[in-house]
Structure 1
Amino acid sequence: MERTASPARPTVDQLRHIASNYPIIDNHAHNLILPSHSETIPFETIATEAQGRALRDTFKSLSHLRAARQLRQLFEVGEDADWDDVLEQRVEWLRSNSERLHQRCFEGVHALLIDDGLAGPEKGYPYDYHDHYTKAPSKRIVRIETVAERLMENLVMDASEDDLGRGKFLQETWVNFTDDFEGEIQEAIEDDNVAGFKSVICYRTGLDIEPEYEQAAKAVGHHFERYVKNCIRKRSYRIEKKHLNDYLVLRTLEILSDRLPRSDSLAKPFQLHTGLGDNDIKLLESNPAFLQSLIENYPQVPFVLLHLSYPYTREAGYLATVYRHVYLDIGEVFPMISRDGQKAVLRQALELVPGSKLMYSSNGRWFPEAYWLANTQFREVWFELLMEYIEKGDLTPYQAIGMTKDILFNNSNVLYDLRYEAVFDETVQAAPKQLTYNSKPDALSPSRSPIATPGLNAPLFNQPGPSATPAPRSVSPYSQPTFPPPPKVPQVYDTQRFDKFKEENPNVKFIYIQWLEYMAKIRSRIVSIKEFTRMVHDGSRIGISQHNTGTLQNNTVTPDVNATEQIYIEPDLRSLRLTDNKDPLPAATVLSYWRSENGSALPGDPRHSLETLVNDLQYNHATSLLIGFEIEVVFLSRNSDMASTDPYSPLTGKYIHGGTFNPEQWLRKPFVSEILIALEETGIDIEQLHAENGNGQYNFILPPQPPLSAMDTLIHARQLIARVAALHGLRATLHPQPFEGVTTAAHARISLHPADRHKQFFVGGVLRHLPAICAFTLPEEESYKSVHDGDDTNRPSRRTQPPLSPTPSDWEFRPLDGLANPYLALCAILAAGLLGLAANENEEPAGVDAVTRLVPRSVGEAVDALRRDGDLREALPRELVQGYLRMKDAEREMLDRMGERERRVFLIERY
């Protein structure tokens, strides 16, 4: 008797084909990062949540080694290629054809649901930009904490300490805040582009959320007041007070429940970060079991527990099994844990959870490869696991196919009411990767109903045949959607920002493109607005000879010069600012990065190095930073007496007392007023101005700002002060001791947020590495003449008191003067502070004498300390430290050949 061929093998092949290629609805992802910020986040973070110095060990983890192998395949490099080879090939792909890389990484992704609250518009692409690479439109997931923080910033950005004393201020702020928050959530509910909502309360205060709304509302008052005061005093809007975080979650759930069209409808889903995350999470409080009472109180709000709640997968699985409106997201464990770990947590999920309650996500962020790795690894591990269940008889191939379609596409499609349909060729072909997708929304009922929601009443894969997306009940209101073509050139600049600036400032005809080199001298190129517009829209840069960054203040060539190579100057449009009306040109000014020919960041670029360290602090330590600089300046007039041995004399005479305006100073008030008005015209606020004790000496105190903004403000303000002084025939100098008994500095007031968690460790790291830091912050021999004279002027660290800063919890770094490159100075301080956080170095200043002894007695001692401080040098870019040290050696040689008077005049004329 003739035997018939078994159908099992073709069905398994079909399962392999579908598991490898079926289109995905990614139910939780984040934005791609803008190219201008891509270098500030380590690429290694696509396969780990490790931070800071712990990131070094990731190279020996199974998750990284596996990801590296797969990336070698993606970038088509040899199996023996190391990580640097992969990175180099990646840069080449981005330079030559970035669209090819993006299209390849998003292959098979039908649609993305994007939480765009992780990266603001200044760092990440807008959510709908990703439509270039998907078959159907992307949708938003609204992060409620980001909504609340942005609203609060808008409400109190102009408020001051005085407002806190007004009787009704806090009450009015509460009413406005809650009204605005409710309005924004309601608006998002009505927005077809919003698929759902999300809370990161797990990161902030944990999942032990007060389940009763009335109790949450009663408890929030005092904590809201503390939050408002913190916003005004520190200009930090991060919400991390338990009762306020609880209230926001409860208020959102109340609004979602109240806005249902029918009693049997379900609200838009509410995602909760659970489990796997960086070290900002309180691990014990990230257990989703805490959520049980909350889930029971809101039965009409679907809850999506993100990231398999790892390592609490079983607890999350229990909730997803016993509550009809709880779902489990399969994300972030791909590619963050090993293959065996991924298989283990999927097994744990499937111990209880129906396939109709599981949904795929990548948790992709920043880099296109992150989405690709998650997609690739999930499909690989999922197929292996299904084959085990089939071989054991727990699943038939048809049931496995149905479960695969549900997890990858159907469950998210129905839960988020997306109404997408994927047309997929299920025929097993020789080249199964060549697929044709068609994105056509199927018009389900306009009202949401639990009857059609998978996991409630409609099992999708318990039938003998393969599952399918529910059939449409009516004709689709629109046909195949069309998407704009991908950009022809990489988007280097924020063209919308620039076009808006041009529209608001039509009189601008020229742009000063500027950058600061190692010796703290501003270099500039002036271009017409027409040429600058072309640069912005073409994504081009200005090429300059590399020797521009390796010459001294008098253009002396140093060993750091390479006359045959170029660097490329890339304006940072965030720093674009009008010049004042004293400028003879109708112009604006912009500060810049240094780039390589292919557009990647140069590791020796001071601006890029600072941004990288700031991002390390923000993303790896959940800590933000505000900094306010002081500009101590001495105004000098040039001596007309040819017989004088000194070409300069101070603007005001003797017997000046700090903080006063005597008759002689009053006569100079119009000149000083001119500076203040010019600063205001360019958008630079002065927190305070006062006369110092020295002849002709004034102190302009700038307000606290985020580091790059503070740096931009400092550089622009210094230039403007010097320019207005020059118009009056005066020299404004930052020389640390232009005359005997007159000392100037550039003290920096620093605030860490949250202060209580990190300030002492950060300051401890700064104190431990202070001798080496001084090589950057006190860069000349003149810088040390007043440090050890018994005066408190340059005490390395002291706590500031009002009115110098908004709160007495800030601290002040004092051994810093106007000869320093402020980028490099702050880089050194941040790098040392990060070392302190990593090592938990907890030191506080023990007194003026004890701390002052940490400051070297000469620039030579400071430079030697930097050469010996291996940890600090390792924490900074190697090229930056080496280039700076070579420049300092050459500069000291040049200055040592000068006499004391010649050297003093040389520095006064340049700083």
Structure 2
Amino acid sequence: MIEKKSMNFNDLEQWLNERRVTEVECLVPDLTGVARGKILPRGKFTEDRGMRLPQAIVAMGVTGEFPESGPYYDVIDPTDKDMQLRPDPSSVRIVPWAVDPTAQVIHDCFDHEGKLVPFAPRTVLRKVCDLFKSEGLQPIVAPELEFYLTARNTDPNTLLRPPIGRSGRAETSRQAYSIDAVNEFDPLFEEIYDFSDKMELNVDTLIHEVGAGQMEINFFHNEPLGLADEVFFFKRTVREAALRHEMYATFMAKPIAGEPGSAMHVHQSLLDMATGKNVFSNEDGTPSDTFLHYIGGLQRYIPAAMVLVAPYVNSYRRLSRNTAAPINIEWGYDNRTVGIRSPISTPAARRVENRVIGADANPYVAMAMTLACGYLGIKNKIKPKPEMKGDAYLSPYALPRSLGEALDWLRRESDLHEVLGKEFITVYSEIKELEFDEFMKVISPWEREHLLLHV
């Protein structure tokens, strides 16, 4: 079998032939993590080996809107020029739910000069990984992705509710780690695992999380770009499988009031490319300076980078006290109240877990963000604060409390602009500003209930 990471275009053609593929979904992840692109007949895909799309397609808001003016158009050409998209053979997967044999392939975005488009999410993650490789280091990550299953809901004004399980009843209480609660949805999860197996996704453990109808899937550790691809594919897969079982799957950070939010915890470590050893540990097994500097970088830069991993107004509803989500960037060993946790492990498996990232984050941007913060910590030799050995919820808030505040913090942090790319920061910030402005035009039920006749 051809190893995916080493596939070229000839290998890709062989792969498609072996599976008698007749259609190809040509995908590009946009800033929100939505799959954009075209569906091509197999012959057309083979003939073109790519396609074209307008630049702005990967740089639109979650509502599909674009800024009317401003710095956005210093990066995005106002004449709406095309990008040239090239398939990444290593990303090819079968579409297991398609009626006809169909493949899906993620594409990279290039300009007319053959350069990677700097504001495309995959480009940003590649850029950060290349910074580590220039230092002889290979980042390794392992995401843990939480999501909610809900009953079908076609009315945005109606509250979301847990779905009906095999027993004919919906969950009404929290069922953390309950095997029986997971078994309520056996037919769905059997299909998710079947789809994941056919797509060769490296999913590991499934557990029931704290919230009613809240689940978590863990991925095996691997290099960041490949795992970001897998999270991207997995979100599509879970949504599709849930619809087939008359329910929704949502990765909103806080879909249900009174229930915990959903996170995407990312475990990360660094390997020496020459020796394959984990540089977070010294030869004697003690934590290395690199490990501590990496944590120092996370503590120094995460607050300014929060809008990259808490990208919507809803994201900040999750980051509040006593909701199983962090409110600051304290760090500690085996401490789930902190934003930066180091699980108990052997020296070879020493790693850092970033717990502030929301499930609603674009996986490419999220991994680029956390690796960029750690990289800056190593380069600048930033020492971390003393380890938090108690309850970090008793410490003050150290993260922005709203989307608007988070945008201001990001705009002021020039170090992140250099590592992630000024073009990306400009486009991302302008899109988030647009979304924030759109949200502020909406009057919520809370305002009508408490302000209408009382102020």
Decide: shared fold, TM above 0.5.
Answer: yes
Q: Deviations over 1:684-712 (max 9, x none)?
A: 13210011121111111111110011111
The structure where helix makes up a greater share of residues is 1
Q: Which residue, 180, 183, 199 being the options, matches 1:682?
A: 199
Structure 2 equivalent of residue 500 of structure 1: 14
Taking a change above 3 Å as real, the CA distance of residues 852 and 701 of structure 1, as seen in their structure-2 partners, is farther
Q: Is 2:38 the partner of 1:513?
A: no
Q: Secondary structure at the match of 1:649?
A: coil
Structure 2 equivalent of residue 658 of structure 1: 176
Structure 2 equivalent of residue 573 of structure 1: 89
Q: Is 2:411 the partner of 1:867?
A: yes
Q: Which residue, 231, 236, 250 being the options, matches 1:733?
A: 250
Structure 1 equivalent of residue 450 of structure 2: none
**Deviation, structure 1 residue 853:** 3.1
Distance 2:213 2:4 in 1: 44
Q: Is 2:265 the partner of 1:744?
A: no
Taking a change above 3 Å as real, the CA distance of residues 814 and 529 of structure 1, as seen in their structure-2 partners, is same
The alignment-based identity, stated in percent, is 21
> Would the aligned equivalents of 1:801 and 1:808 in 2 still touch at CA under 8 Å?
no
Structure 2 equivalent of residue 764 of structure 1: 296
Distance 1:605 1:883 in 2: 10
Q: Which amino acid aligns with 1:516?
A: P
Distance 1:792 1:553 in 2: 26
Q: Deviations over 1:788-836 (max 9, x none)?
A: 314553332101247xx99761111111112222222222222222211
> Would the aligned equivalents of 1:761 and 1:842 in 2 still touch at CA under 8 Å?
yes
Q: Is 2:315 the partner of 1:799?
A: no
Taking a change above 3 Å as real, the CA distance of residues 650 and 835 of structure 1, as seen in their structure-2 partners, is same
Give matches, 1:334-345, under 5 Å: none
Q: Secondary structure at the match of 1:781?
A: coil
Q: Which residue, 778, 786, 795 being the options, matches 2:318?
A: 786
Give matches, 1:55-134, under 5 Å: none
Q: Which runs of 5+ in 1 are unaligned?
A: 1-119, 124-492, 903-911
Taking a change above 3 Å as real, the CA distance of residues 497 and 763 of structure 1, as seen in their structure-2 partners, is farther
Q: Deviations over 1:582-602 (max 9, x none)?
A: 223311111121110132212
Structure 1 equivalent of residue 237 of structure 2: 720
Q: Which residue, 111, 114, 125 being the options, matches 1:599?
A: 114
Q: Secondary structure at the match of 1:755?
A: coil
Structure 1 moving runs of 4+ over 4 Å: 120-123, 805-808, 849-852
Distance 1:613 1:671 in 2: 36
Distance 1:747 1:122 in 2: 25
Q: Secondary structure at the match of 1:708?
A: helix
Distance 2:193 2:309 in 1: 27
> Would the aligned equivalents of 2:118 and 2:124 in 1 still touch at CA under 8 Å?
yes
**Deviation, structure 1 residue 852:** 6.8
Give matches, 1:329-408, under 5 Å: none
Taking a change above 3 Å as real, the CA distance of residues 630 and 515 of structure 1, as seen in their structure-2 partners, is same
**Deviation, structure 1 residue 845:** 6.1
Taking a change above 3 Å as real, the CA distance of residues 782 and 122 of structure 1, as seen in their structure-2 partners, is closer
Structure 2 equivalent of residue 755 of structure 1: 280
Structure 1 equivalent of residue 331 of structure 2: none
Q: Secondary structure at the match of 2:206?
A: strand
Give matches, 1:19-418, under 5 Å: none
Taking a change above 3 Å as real, the CA distance of residues 617 and 550 of structure 1, as seen in their structure-2 partners, is closer
Distance 1:552 1:889 in 2: 9
Structure 1 equivalent of residue 335 of structure 2: none
Distance 2:111 2:425 in 1: 18
Q: Is 2:316 the partner of 1:775?
A: no
Distance 2:405 2:62 in 1: 22
Q: Secondary structure at the match of 2:176?
A: coil
Q: Which amino acid aligns with 2:80?
A: T
**Deviation, structure 1 residue 494:** 2.4
Q: Secondary structure at the match of 1:769?
A: helix
Taking a change above 3 Å as real, the CA distance of residues 688 and 807 of structure 1, as seen in their structure-2 partners, is farther
Taking a change above 3 Å as real, the CA distance of residues 648 and 793 of structure 1, as seen in their structure-2 partners, is closer
Q: Deviations over 1:851-894 (max 9, x none)?
A: 77332222222111111111111222111000001101111011
Taking a change above 3 Å as real, the CA distance of residues 735 and 709 of structure 1, as seen in their structure-2 partners, is same
Distance 1:831 1:705 in 2: 17
Structure 1 equivalent of residue 40 of structure 2: 527
Q: Is 2:41 the partner of 1:543?
A: no
Q: Which runs of 5+ in 2 are unaligned?
A: 164-169, 272-278, 282-287, 327-337, 447-455
Distance 1:639 1:530 in 2: 39
Distance 2:193 2:4 in 1: 32
Taking a change above 3 Å as real, the CA distance of residues 646 and 122 of structure 1, as seen in their structure-2 partners, is closer
Distance 2:122 2:14 in 1: 25
Q: Is 2:77 the partner of 1:564?
A: no
Q: What RMSD, in angstroms, separates the aligned Cα atoms of the two structures?
A: 2.7
Q: Which residue, 627, 630, 649 being the options, matches 2:144?
A: 630
**Deviation, structure 1 residue 725:** 0.6
Distance 1:829 1:720 in 2: 25
Q: Secondary structure at the match of 2:161?
A: strand
Q: Secondary structure at the match of 2:228?
A: helix
Distance 2:4 2:203 in 1: 28
> Would the aligned equivalents of 1:603 and 1:880 in 2 still touch at CA under 8 Å?
yes
Q: Deviations over 1:357-399 (max 9, x none)?
A: xxxxxxxxxxxxxxxxxxxxxxxxxxxxxxxxxxxxxxxxxxx
Q: Which amino acid aligns with 1:684?
A: L
> Would the aligned equivalents of 1:773 and 1:825 in 2 still touch at CA under 8 Å?
no
Q: Which amino acid aligns with 2:309?
A: T
Give matches, 1:430-441, under 5 Å: none
Larger Rg: 1
Distance 1:736 1:839 in 2: 32
Q: Is 2:375 the partner of 1:834?
A: yes
> Would the aligned equivalents of 1:545 and 1:563 in 2 still touch at CA under 8 Å?
no
Distance 1:806 1:680 in 2: 31
Q: Secondary structure at the match of 2:442?
A: coil
> Would the aligned equivalents of 1:638 and 1:647 in 2 still touch at CA under 8 Å?
no
Distance 1:725 1:122 in 2: 30
Taking a change above 3 Å as real, the CA distance of residues 624 and 845 of structure 1, as seen in their structure-2 partners, is farther
Scaled by the length of structure 2, the TM-score of the pair is 0.82
Q: Deviations over 1:233-257 (max 9, x none)?
A: xxxxxxxxxxxxxxxxxxxxxxxxx
Q: Which amino acid aligns with 1:799?
A: S
> Would the aligned equivalents of 1:788 and 1:852 in 2 still touch at CA under 8 Å?
no
Taking a change above 3 Å as real, the CA distance of residues 121 and 553 of structure 1, as seen in their structure-2 partners, is closer
Q: Is 2:438 the partner of 1:894?
A: yes
Q: Deviations over 1:61-97 (max 9, x none)?
A: xxxxxxxxxxxxxxxxxxxxxxxxxxxxxxxxxxxxx
> Would the aligned equivalents of 1:547 and 1:563 in 2 still touch at CA under 8 Å?
no
Q: Which amino acid aligns with 1:659?
A: Y
Distance 2:349 2:235 in 1: 27
Q: Which amino acid aligns with 1:797?
A: I
Distance 1:660 1:764 in 2: 36
> Would the aligned equivalents of 1:800 and 1:808 in 2 still touch at CA under 8 Å?
no
Q: Secondary structure at the match of 2:269?
A: strand
Q: Which structure ranks higher in relative contact order (CA pairs < 8 Å, sequence separation ≥ 6)? A: 2
**Deviation, structure 1 residue 503:** 3.9
Q: Which amino acid aligns with 1:864?
A: D
Distance 2:308 2:183 in 1: 37
Q: Secondary structure at the match of 2:203?
A: coil
**Deviation, structure 1 residue 647:** 5.6
Q: Deviations over 1:712-746 (max 9, x none)?
A: 11111111010011112211101111112221111
Distance 1:851 1:533 in 2: 57
Q: Deviations over 1:302-351 (max 9, x none)?
A: xxxxxxxxxxxxxxxxxxxxxxxxxxxxxxxxxxxxxxxxxxxxxxxxxx
**Deviation, structure 1 residue 613:** 1.4
